[in-house]
Structure 1
Amino acid sequence: MARSSPITNRSGRIAAAILLALACILFVAATRIDYAFSSDPLGPRAIPLILAAALGLFALRYGFSPGPAEVFPRGPLLLRSIGFVAVCFATVALLDLLGFLPAMAVLIGVTALLFGATPLQAAVVGVVQAAFWFVCFKYALGTYLPMGSIFTAG
């Protein structure tokens, strides 16, 4: 087994430290969730606490054995990566304004474009997948999804 360079180990450990810090933040935020004891037996804290614990364990594992690092992207791959992160932030920012369906259709469509789909393919996959996830979350799981304030009167 080949040994990693010190720079590779350092970058992996930095990533692990960031993940561990996020796990701690999630844990603290989850412990501050207030709920009535008559609600669900586990309460709303259970899932965030489980996720925080899992993230913390994975971060520790990665910190002790980071493995080789990928080469930092350059050129078109770097632009596509930045574009993906930007469209994710834009989707979150516009979710309440546009609503789940249009926001997800744009997110999925732009992501498909970034991965090489034609504009027609990206539009079709964006609309179809947004509708699929809407049905899954809204009707199968009973989750509240924003409908978009620009589409609602008042």
Structure 2
Amino acid sequence: MTTGRSMRAGEAVLGGGLIALGGLIAVETMLTPSVGRAVVGPALFPYLISGGLVLVGLSLLREAFAGAVAHAEGLELDLWAVALVAAGLAVQFLLLDTLGWIPSTTILFAAVSRAFGGRRLVVNLAIGLALAAFTFVAFNYGLGLNLPEGSIVERLTSPDAE
């Protein structure tokens, strides 16, 4: 832990990278042709994400150059939690096409909950299932943006399955 006024190179590089990524997303969103004239269109979320990335990047740069204490007393990097979140994301990515949005996102939620200290697996799975089902219904039926059902569900529900 360094508490001096020296620049933190890692935070500076990460902050600059986030600013560059946010700028790239904003430029690509501007260059993508818009469809329709709605106030809230498909470009809203990429702009929000790019703005968030730029704000986080600026915050990291400010801390890096101000020499702020990066780690408060008692806060250490928990590699097990980072690995668990990364594993949850990998499992979701690998199972999304096969199992679909609801089961893969439920597994991801349970993994992230465990990484943040949740010990009740059944409760976390139930909450993850409820949130995944809600987002699936909201996107598929409310917004008309189809999240993957999964090839297993598609085979079971298709008329040719019999």
Does the CA-based 8 Å contact 1:33-1:44 persist in structure 2?
A: no
2: CA distance between counterparts of 1:104 and 1:83? 14
Equivalent position of 1:146 in the other structure: 148
Deviation at residue 5 of structure 1 after TM alignment:
4.1
Taking structure 1 as reference, are residues 25 and 97 closer, same or farther at Cα in structure 2, changes over 3 Å only? farther
**Corresponding residue for residue 59 of structure 1:** 57
Hey, what's the Cα distance between the residues in 2 that align with 1:44 and 1:141? 11
Amino acid at match of 2:60: Y
Aligned length in residues: 146
Q: CA 1:68–1:127 in 2, change beyond 3 Å: closer, same or farther? A: same
Aligned to 2:123: 121
Which residue of structure 2 lines up, in the alignment, with residue 49 of structure 1?
47
Name the counterpart of 1:18: 17
Distance apart, 1:152 and its partner CA: 1.0
- In the alignment, what sits opposite 2:96? 95
Gaps of 5+ in 2: none
| Length-normalised TM-score, structure 2 | 0.70
**Deviation at residue 65 of structure 1 after TM alignment:** 3.7
- Secondary structure of the residue aligned to 1:152 is helix
Identity of aligned residues (%): 25
Structure-1-length-normalised TM-score: 0.73
Q: Tell me the residue number matched to 2:133.
A: 131
Counterpart residue number, 1:34: 33
Give the Cα–Cα distance (whole angstroms) in 1 for the partners of residues 122 and 48 of structure 2.
41
The corresponding residue for 2:6 is: 6
